[in-house]
Amino acid sequence: MDNNIQSKVDKWLNGNFEESVKLAIREMQQSNPDELADAFYKNLEFGTGGLRGIMGIGTNRMNKYTVGMATQGYANYLMKSFEGEISVAIGHDCRNNSRDFAEITANVFAANGIKVYLFESLRPTPEISFTIRHLKCKGGVVCTASHNPKEYNGYKAYWDDGAQLVPPHDKNVIIEVEKIESVDDVKWEGGESNITIIGKEIDKLYLDMVQRLSIYPEKCKEQHDLKIVYTPIHGSGIMLVPDALKQLGFDNVHIVKEQSVPDGNFPTVIYPNPEETETMSIGLNQAKELDADILLGTDPDADRVGIGVKNNKGEWILMNGNQTALLAFNYMIEARRAKGIAQPNDMVVKTIVTTNMIDVIAKENDVACYNVLTGFKWIASLIKQKEGKENYIVGGEESFGLMIGNEIRDKDSVSACTILCEMAAYEKSKGRSLFDKLIDLYIQYGFYKESLVSITKKGMNGAAEISAMMEQFRNNPYKSLDGIRIKELKDFQLQVGKNLIDGTEWKIDLPKSNVLQFVLEDDSVISARPSGTEPKIKFYFSVNTKLIETDKFEETEFQLDQKISRIIKEMNLN
């Protein structure tokens, strides 16, 4: 075994760790040395969003010790950053060990003299963002691995604005976490009196906030029998989504029974992610059986939402994240104007890999649209920057996330579910569907079609393989794709954009991020982005053309799909 790995193993065998942990390490030494090496070959990185990894024993795993050490480092940074009383809010989702990790986190903060507001049981991630702002906390933590498989767990760290950490705090917290070299550096207990359990009283405040986001509450009451099918996919959405829909006036909500009970084993799915067709299949079947108006599915920590609707042939389809986002953005712009509550300084925010159709819609409606790096912390950062000058109304990204209104700073499927159902009710009151509205928007603004290819590289060599792929794209960029010249290469790591035709360059005024973006002469966009939390590299494809009329939708969609397929094949990503 590598000397560095062996040194870490020995440290655990001889250190202040539970005997059961030492026994498990010895068993792995005998039965599975490769697994032992993977568990110890590096420290689980406290990245700019926190921790995320497979649960188990070792420095490269999510466990009591890695969580405690991360919390001690974060606590140290909070105490350096603020004077007087410091408080944090802590929540968790349905995952195995999430409650344990949340309690460990609470105990370490409390032992450091920090006041802790700990939710009594699982709650949607966005409620913790809301709580941080409402209770004027200096930070917070949610123990969740979002939509990852059941083997994973994670630790999302938040700052005093209710958003995940951004510069300089993200890097500074990492520095403090890396200073914690031993479990003996952690204050594990002794501050229990600093912990306050919270629950229903915050739920009510949060649900009232969600209700205030409604633009046409009268349409919700008028269409109170809108037939809604909802699945929490075994997650924390069950705690608030049904109540939020009920409070808005919807009384015909059908919860998918097989997926209604919180369960970290996710027994009915492989990936608890509403982006996955298989994950939504049980809900889709129920929606068909009931002849519902809309299907909603939220991920385990209830920050993402996927929806299903009937197309113009009466067939059920699942909308992708870009389609859901552009419908929501358009509604927030269009409905606010129709209701007379639009402000001249309204703004919307999207990420650089989210459909550019939103930019077109915003421009046509004289609403400022800003593009930021992937992640809602960057949307939140821009809101903070524009506070008092521009009026934020909605933000989102293609990965099934929406953030509506100004009282939270993270993606929120609870408020998204209510707005999406309100949109469905509004269209139904006119004898139409959300799909009809989508086609209208394509005809009005252009038909934008997006697709995603995600490649996973596991194990110790995975990160190196992904890095090599990015360097190849960066150093030897394509000149053309699908016979169309590439006119621009945007390198967000180098913060430089370059016109590949005339050689001119410009500075990209965004923080550094390892993303490359190719823009073709027909305004197709291909983006390459390694994940910051998983051993993956994602490729985003966006193509567009005109849609003349509704009857041409399928033919035009097929042409766009074929174009994307040709580009994927040319890039050897099949």
Catalytic residue numbers read 146
Pick the closest to residue 210 from 244, 246, 251, 241 (CA basis).
Answer: 244
Asked whether 89 and 168 are in contact (CB, 8 A), the reply is no
Torsion angle, CA of 517/520/521/524, rounded to 10 degrees?
A: -100
**Parallel, antiparallel or unpaired: strands 316-318 and 305-310:** antiparallel
Q: Which helix (H) or strand (E) holds 278?
A: helix 277-290
Instruction: Give rounded-to-5 percent helix, strand, coil for the chain.
Output: 40, 20, 35
- Measured distance CA(473)–CA(539) in Å, rounded: 12
Q: Which helix (H) or strand (E) holds 116?
A: strand 115-119
Pick the closest to residue 372 from 122, 131, 166, 571 (CA basis).
Answer: 166
- Measured distance CA(453)–CA(455) in Å, rounded: 7
- Read off the tokens for 453: 């290819």
What secondary structure letter does DSSP report for 320? P
Q: At what angle do helices 413-428 and 200-212 cross, to 10 degrees?
A: 40
- Measured distance CA(107)–CA(191) in Å, rounded: 7
- Measured distance CA(202)–CA(189) in Å, rounded: 26
- Measured distance CA(425)–CA(224) in Å, rounded: 8
Pick the closest to residue 77 from 15, 33, 139, 126 (CA basis).
Answer: 139
- Reduced to 3 states (helix: H, G, I; strand: E, B; else coil), residue 535 is coil
Any bridge partners for residue 195, and if so which?
Answer: 116
Asked whether 127 and 240 are in contact (CB, 8 A), the reply is yes
- Reduced to 3 states (helix: H, G, I; strand: E, B; else coil), residue 323 is helix
262 prior amide bond cis, ω within 30: no
